[in-house]
Amino acid sequence: MPLAPSPRLRLSLVHQLVLLLVGAVLLAVTVLGAAVAWNLRTGFSDYLRAQDEHWLDRFAEVAAVAVAERGLAALSGPPGSLRPLFDAVAPSDGSPPRPGAGRPDGPPPRPGPGGRPPPGALRTPERLSVVDAAGLPLAGRPLAPQDLSAERPIVVAGRTVARAQLARVPFAAADVDAAFLARQYRGIVMTALLLTLLAVAGAVWAGRRWLRPVREVQQAARRVAQGAFDMRLAPHGNDELTDLAHDINAMAESLQQLEASRRRWMAELSHEMRTPLAVLRGEVEALVDGVRPRTDAAMVSLQEEVTRVTRLVEDFHQLALSDLRALPCSFAAVQPSALLRDAMTRVQPRAQASGLQLALDDAGAPPLALWDTQRIGQLLANLLENSLRYTDAPGRIALQLRPGGPGQAVVCIDDSAPGVPAADHARLFEPLYRADASRSRRLGGSGLGMSICRAIARSHGGHIEAGASALGGLRVVVTLPLRPEGSA
């Protein structure tokens, strides 16, 4: 039977942070402790060597006094014969050797602090050796050059009569020296442990402090994923986590607006589709039941309703395409002025019938552009249709084409009263938005024409905006590049 795979170990952010800080502190403490221990060992070795040399200097002085009084016999003899001289060396306090030091009947050695033996007593006689001027041993065991720790001449009356040698010993062989180093090493270890504990405590505190906003963001993201777009975080601080909280809030707000727009769009779509379908259904039922005769006028009425539904579906299809990607365009060389004149010619009869005056100003218009003729024609038709629907007679509609920035053309459409409130200017290009819903439906508008204009402008790399017109109505400004990206 196959075994189930074991779950992978998952470390939380706090655990990772604790391990990281503890590892860094342990590494730093280890390196620092090793450096301090090495420096301490080296420095202490130098200190002991300096002490040996200083002690040997004082021994040479005592030995010189003894040789001056008794000759080389004071330095000759079997092992242990140097004990009187060895014990007669004064402590390393800078005081001179005492008179009579080194003689059997001389003064006893001075005790060290606390009654302990003087520092010289820590250097055993077995380490000491004395040779004459020719290098022949007088006392102690002979020492090879590599075994020497220090060597000093014994000078009497300006002449070197012998040499005192001190043997090298293993590092910190003396109890006092070993205890001192052990105490220092224990201090280093305790300091390292204390620093490690402080690092663990600091890492846990910092990890919990940083993990709290991360968990809040995580929970907020889960709630947004579940559809709770009204969720908002309360950012505090001034770091990357605060910026992340602001981004989460902005994302939730955008999704909330998008969801509200989607719901409104669905409601408006169902309403817009229901009206022509209800009319179409009523007329069909009337024809089927024989209430209305099957005349050419009845067929024309049905055709108009079908055309209206088809136009509405096509508009929604174009907007859906523009949400997914830019509208597909077939760019070709065209004269912008010719497009505007064609659009004006198509609506001229309706404008005259409605008591509206049309005017075109294309002076200084660019001679050539790479545009999609059908798309730009649809844009102009929608804008003119919007002005025809919502301009009271007698009124005026002015169309202007002029150069914009480098490589751009600007199309302006102004109409006379009534105008649109300034608060509604930015929303005119939202799908199914109407500043006056009842008036729009009465005039047959679907609320999609301006949204399609924005989609067409964007597909050409341009933009569209609305504002107040000097004629008292609405002004729509479309800025288009003469050579959009991808037009080549």
pLDDT score for 371: 93
**Digit-coded pLDDT (tens) for 310-328:** 877 777 777 666 665 667 7
The answer to whether the CB of 98 falls within 8 A of the CB of 81 is no
Top pLDDT among 169 and 54 is at: 54
Same domain (yes/no): 258, 310: yes
Top pLDDT among 105 and 352 is at: 352
What does the pLDDT average to over 384-409? 90
Q: Given 322, 350, 372, which residue is the final one in a domain? A: 322
Same domain (yes/no): 354, 468: yes
The CA distance from 459 to 325, in Å, is 9
What tokens does 397 get? 């509609």
What does the pLDDT average to over 135-144? 82
What single DSSP character describes residue 475? E
pLDDT-derived band at 436, boundaries 50, 70, 90: low
What does the pLDDT average to over 277-291? 81
What does the pLDDT average to over 397-416? 91
The CA distance from 324 to 320, in Å, is 6
Which of 53-62, 205-214, 260-269, 315-324 has the highest mean predicted lDDT (pLDDT)?
Answer: 53-62
What tokens does 57 get? 């200097």
The CA distance from 339 to 107, in Å, is 129
Same domain (yes/no): 316, 388: no
Same domain (yes/no): 297, 335: no
The answer to whether the CB of 74 falls within 8 A of the CB of 102 is yes
Same domain (yes/no): 340, 453: yes
What tokens does 68 get? 């001056």
Residue 166: strand pairing partners = 128, 150
The pLDDT of residue 106 is above 70: no
**Digit-coded pLDDT (tens) for 222-269:** 888 888 888 888 877 777 778 888 888 888 888 888 787 777 767 767
Least confident of 189-198, 334-343, 452-461: 189-198
**Angle between helices 240-289 and 175-225 in degrees, nearest 10:** 20
Burial tier of 364 (Cβ tally within 10 Å: 0-12, 13-18, 19+): exposed
Which of 82-86, 262-266, 376-380 has the highest mean predicted lDDT (pLDDT)?
Answer: 376-380
Cα Rg, the chain, nearest whole Å: 52
- Ramachandran bin of 268, using left for φ above 0, alpha for ψ from -120 to 50, beta for the remaining angles: alpha
Same domain (yes/no): 78, 109: yes
The pLDDT of residue 465 is above 60: yes
Amino acid 414 reads D
pLDDT score for 317: 72
| Dihedral, 444, 450, 451, 456 alpha carbons, nearest 10 | 120
| Domains in the chain, number | 3
Q: Within its chain, how far is the Cα of 34 from the centroid?
A: 35
Amino acid 11 reads L
Alpha carbon of 122 to those of 151, 395, 485: distances in Å? 18, 120, 94
What does the pLDDT average to over 364-390? 88
The answer to whether the CB of 383 falls within 8 A of the CB of 476 is yes
In three-state secondary structure terms, 400 is: strand
The pLDDT of residue 441 is above 50: no
Closest CA to 58 of 97, 93, 104: 97
CATH number at residue 339: 3.30.565.10
Same domain (yes/no): 290, 362: no
Which of 74-78, 79-83, 379-383 has the highest mean predicted lDDT (pLDDT)?
Answer: 379-383
Asked whether residue 188 is assigned to any structural domain, the reply reads: no
Phi first, then psi: give them for residue 481, nearest 5 degrees.
Answer: -75, 145
Asked whether residue 126 is assigned to any structural domain, the reply reads: yes
Top pLDDT among 15 and 158 is at: 158
The CA distance from 225 to 306, in Å, is 41
Asked whether residue 2 is assigned to any structural domain, the reply reads: no
**One-character DSSP codes across 177-236:** HHHHHHHHHHHHHHHHHHHHHHHHHHHHHHHHHHHHHHHHHHHHHHHHHTT-TT------
The CA distance from 112 to 120, in Å, is 10
Cβ within 8 Å of residue 66, ≥6 positions away: 74, 75, 85, 101, 102, 103
pLDDT score for 432: 67
Which domain, by its residues, includes 106?
13-176
Top pLDDT among 295 and 91 is at: 295
The pLDDT of residue 412 is above 90: yes
Asked whether residue 198 is assigned to any structural domain, the reply reads: no
What does the pLDDT average to over 98-114? 44
pLDDT score for 94: 44
Top pLDDT among 423 and 441 is at: 423
Same domain (yes/no): 340, 381: yes
In three-state secondary structure terms, 409 is: strand
Q: Given 147, 176, 205, which residue is the final one in a domain? A: 176
pLDDT score for 380: 92
The answer to whether the CB of 127 falls within 8 A of the CB of 166 is yes
What does the pLDDT average to over 160-174? 73
Q: State the greatest distance between any 2 C-alpha atoms of the chain, in Å, as a whole number.
A: 161
Beta strand pairing status for 128-132 and 137-139? antiparallel
What does the pLDDT average to over 348-358? 90
Alpha carbon of 347 to those of 280, 385, 386: distances in Å? 28, 8, 11
Closest CA to 386 of 349, 414, 365: 414
Asked whether residue 217 is assigned to any structural domain, the reply reads: no
pLDDT score for 98: 46
The answer to whether the CB of 337 falls within 8 A of the CB of 363 is no
pLDDT score for 468: 92
Asked whether residue 182 is assigned to any structural domain, the reply reads: no
Amino acid 33 reads G
Same domain (yes/no): 248, 346: no
Same domain (yes/no): 298, 355: no
Least confident of 232-246, 268-282, 346-360, 365-379: 268-282
What single DSSP character describes residue 152? E
Least confident of 179-193, 400-414, 431-445: 431-445
The CA distance from 21 to 272, in Å, is 64
Tokens 């600091």 belong to which residue? 202
What single DSSP character describes residue 435? S
Q: What is the 3-state secondary structure (H, E, C) of 322-363?
A: HHHCCCCCCCEEECHHHHHHHHHHHHHHHHHHCCEEEEEECC
Asked whether residue 195 is assigned to any structural domain, the reply reads: no
Q: Given 176, 211, 229, which residue is the final one in a domain? A: 176
Cβ within 8 Å of residue 146, ≥6 positions away: 168
pLDDT-derived band at 102, boundaries 50, 70, 90: very low
Asked whether residue 106 is assigned to any structural domain, the reply reads: yes
CATH number at residue 312: 1.10.287.130
Residue 474: strand pairing partners = 468
**CA atoms 383, 384, 385, 389: torsion sign:** positive
Same domain (yes/no): 121, 270: no
Same domain (yes/no): 169, 314: no
Mean model confidence pLDDT for the chain: 77
